[in-house]
Amino acid sequence: MREAQTFTIKDFDKELKVKVTPMPATKAESFIYRLLLALDFKGVANDVQNVTPEAIVTMVNGLDYETAKPLLDELLRCCVLVTEGGVELALTPEKVDATISDPTTLMTLRLKSAKVNFGFFLTGGYQNFLSNLRGSPNAD
């Protein structure tokens, strides 16, 4: 199991401590398939070197809102706020509205979540995924 990562991010003039816990493998796989199917594999399979966590968020942002919203929400569900006392608070819509002022903070949180969840693509994980998807697993 991959480890959770903790970050400090700026929300206007205040700092927020956020812990991002990776999705379990089954949820991450589901996320990848839903994204690829929503994109209809448009150019993704041919541009493996450029698939980064940032590219994943860009791909999600390129979808229509109704398709993208569940994927964006799933990235945000991996994040919790950590209080000064160490209490972890789930980022429910109510908690987000009561705590976060800057909409770009939410975008930053989703990008951090994508990096924690899908950073393995940077080390060949995506190429291995596509090879297996095509039925030609990489020989080791």
pTM of the predicted structure, to 2 decimals: 0.78
pLDDT tens column, 11-21: 999 999 999 99
Please state, rounded to an integer, the average pLDDT across all residues of the chain. 83
Query: How far is Cα 35 from Cα 45, in angstroms, rounded to an integer?
Result: 12
Which is nearest to 116 in space by CA: 71, 80, 83, 78?
A: 78
- pLDDT above 50 for 121: yes
pLDDT tens column, 37-88: 887 765 555 555 566 777 777 888 888 899 989 999 999 999 999 999 999 9
pLDDT tens column, 91-117: 988 999 999 999 999 999 999 999 999
